[in-house]
């Protein structure tokens, strides 16, 4: 009988331990910068998230879809109910036109990844007019 009770207690503790999980929840998963000027260089947006689980949340890795997008993130564990952030910087220099970039967020507790999106349109730097050869004075 003692063995059965001990086994039951171990089973209950195992189930409770497995139920401890962090859950990342973003306020917004997509941001549209709209029209931005190439001459402005780097543009930044902060994606805020909350740990809606019952265990500390650790963001292991954040990966951008290209080298023109740089993410930084909260490195310390985010306690249940607390907030963290993923800051994304996009470099507009030399990249005129419409863009859509993804940022994938990997957490320690979940095999699911969260995909964030930034998009917009980079307006090119106006070209300088080239002086005509006929207007060159002697």
pLDDT tens by residue, 44-89 = 999 999 999 999 999 999 999 999 999 999 999 999 999 999 999 9
pTM over 0.85: no
Residue 12 lies in a domain: no
Q: How confident is the model at residue 106 (pLDDT cuts 50, 70, 90)?
A: very high
Asked if residues 37 and 123 have their Cβ atoms less than 8 Å apart, the reply is yes
- Integer Cα distance of 72 and 20 in angstroms: 27
Which runs of E-coded beta strand occur in the chain?
24-26, 30-37, 42-51, 59-64, 69-73, 83-91, 97-107, 113-123
Q: Domain for residue 69, yes or no?
A: yes
**What pLDDT is stored for residue 5 in this prediction?**
54
According to the model, what pLDDT value does residue 11 have? 45
Per the listing, tokens 């019952």 go with 54
Q: Does 4 fall in a domain? A: no
Whether 115 maps to a domain, the answer reads yes
Give the separation between CA 79 and CA 109, rounded to whole angstroms: 13
Considering the domain boundaries, does residue 120 fall inside one? yes
Within a domain: 131: no
Among 50, 37, 95, 49, which residue's Cα sits nearest to residue 69? 95
- Residue 10 scores a pLDDT above 50: no
Percent of the chain with pLDDT over 90: 71
Give 128-132 contacts, CB < 8 A, sequence gap 24+.
none
Q: Domain total for the chain? A: 1
Residue 82 falls within a domain, yes or no?
yes
Write out the residue range of the structural domain in which residue 101 sits: 21-125
């Amino acid at each position: 009988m003692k063995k059965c009770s001990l086994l039951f207690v171990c089973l209950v503790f195992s189930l409770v331990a497995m139920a401890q999980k962090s859950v990342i929840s973003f306020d917004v998963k997509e941001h549209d910068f709209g029209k931005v000027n190439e001459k402005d260089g780097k543009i930044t947006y902060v994606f805020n998230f909350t740990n809606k689980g019952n265990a500390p949340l650790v963001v292991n890795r954040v990966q951008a879809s290209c080298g023109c997008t740089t993410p930084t993130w909260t490195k310390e564990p985010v306690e249940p109910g607390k907030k963290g952030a993923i800051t994304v910087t996009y470099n507009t220099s030399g990249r005129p036109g419409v863009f859509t970039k993804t940022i994938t967020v990997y957490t320690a507790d979940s095999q699911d990844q969260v995909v964030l999106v930034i998009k917009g349109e980079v307006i090119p730097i106006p070209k300088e007019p080239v002086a005509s050869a006929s207007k060159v004075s002697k």
